[in-house]
């Protein structure tokens, strides 16, 4: 019996570092080019067929048992994202842009275009199609978001959301929701290494937050520890050629 316990202990000690290493390994995604297309929220444009789904990981093992996945493409004018998730309740009430959307159901994308500078874009979108695009200067973990100036014309995002199995309204019973959005390079100015070209590498992360039953659950693409703003842990977006 003692030998069995000892063997189990040794096996556990050997497995844990490997599991952690796999969790902390920086993910990479090849982003394919596309011509510009209309954003409708349905995510059914033919361009999306060339992009593979990427699954987000649950940050809490006892969190809500929902699935979350995303796709991304890039054009000569900006990046396209499609994020899709299962859900049971639409926990969203905020009816204006630039609110604290992270306190309700939300998808989030972080884009760090140049590793020489600790600045990146944070983009959030709620099931009700409200958005929060902010530029984050992050110096040693001290950060605060700055809203875009002259947020108009070619600097505006294009965005649309939709629900599955229920209405798009606060507290509705649903089966899932999705967001399709376009982030123009013009919005990223003056970040460097923009626009990307074949061979360019950006750092990035994709997150989800859900608040069903009064409990917060989180999902991530690249693993971070305590904060979504640990940009050194972001994954890699590798821009492919045609």
Taking residues 76-93, report their average pLDDT. 98
The model's pLDDT over 129-154, given as tens digits with 9 standing for 90+, comes to 999 999 999 999 899 999 999 999 99
User: Is the model's pLDDT at 76 over the cut of 70?
Assistant: yes
Question: Measuring CA to CA, which residue among 136, 125, 93, 115 is closest to residue 202?
Answer: 115
Q: Is 118 exposed, middle or buried (0-12, 13-18, 19+ CB in 10 A)?
A: middle
* Range 115-121 average pLDDT: 97
Q: Within 13 A of 18's CA, how many CA atoms are on the CB side?
A: 5
Query: Structure tokens of 165?
Result: 């199995």
Confidence check: pLDDT of 95 > 60: yes
**From residue 57, how far is each of 31, 69, 87, 101, 242 by CA, in Å?**
20, 9, 15, 21, 30
The rounded percent of the chain whose pLDDT value lies above 90 is: 86
Give CA–CA dist 174/90, Å, rounded. 7
Give the C-alpha separation, 234 to 57, whole Å. Answer: 14
Rounded to an integer, the average pLDDT of 208-224 is 96
Using the predicted structure, report yes or no on whether residue 11 has a pLDDT greater than 90. no
In the chain, domain spans: 28-239
Overall average pLDDT of the 54-70 stretch: 95
Question: What is the Cα–Cα distance from 208 to 57, expressed in whole angstroms?
Answer: 10
What was the pLDDT predicted at 63? 87
CATH number of 28-239: 2.60.40.1190
* Residue 208 φ/ψ, nearest 5 degrees: -140, 145
Per-residue pLDDT, averaged over 86-114, amounts to 98
pLDDT score of 10 = 36
pLDDT digits 0-9 by tens, 20-42:
555 668 999 999 999 999 999 99
Average pLDDT of the chain to the nearest whole number: 92
Q: Bridge partners of 81?
A: 72, 181
Give pTM, 2 decimals: 0.90
């Amino acid at each position: 019996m003692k030998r069995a316990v000892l063997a189990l202990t040794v096996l556990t000690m050997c497995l844990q570092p490997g599991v952690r290493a796999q969790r902390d390994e920086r993910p990479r995604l090849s982003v394919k080019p596309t011509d510009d297309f209309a954003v409708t929220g349905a995510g059914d444009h033919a361009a999306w067929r060339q992009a593979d789904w990427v699954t987000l990981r649950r940050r809490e093992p006892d969190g809500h048992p929902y699935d979350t996945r995303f796709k991304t493409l890039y054009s000569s004018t900006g990046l396209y994202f499609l994020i899709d998730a299962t859900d049971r309740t639409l926990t969203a009430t905020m009816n204006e842009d630039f609110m604290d959307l992270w306190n309700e159901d939300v998808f989030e994308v972080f884009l760090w275009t140049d590793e020489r500078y600790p600045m990146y874009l944070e983009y959030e979108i709620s099931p009700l199609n409200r958005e929060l695009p902010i530029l984050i200067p992050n110096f040693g973990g001290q950060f605060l978001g700055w809203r875009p100036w002259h947020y108009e014309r070619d600097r505006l995002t294009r965005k649309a959301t939709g629900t599955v199995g229920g209405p798009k309204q606060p507290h509705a019973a649903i089966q899932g929701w999705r967001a399709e959005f376009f982030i123009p390079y013009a919005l990223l100015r003056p970040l460097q290494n923009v626009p990307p070209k074949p061979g360019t590498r950006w750092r990035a992360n994709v997150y989800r937050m859900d608040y069903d039953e009064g409990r917060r659950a989180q999902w991530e693409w690249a693993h971070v520890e305590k904060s979504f703003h640990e940009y050194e842990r972001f994954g890699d977006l590798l821009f492919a050629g045609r």
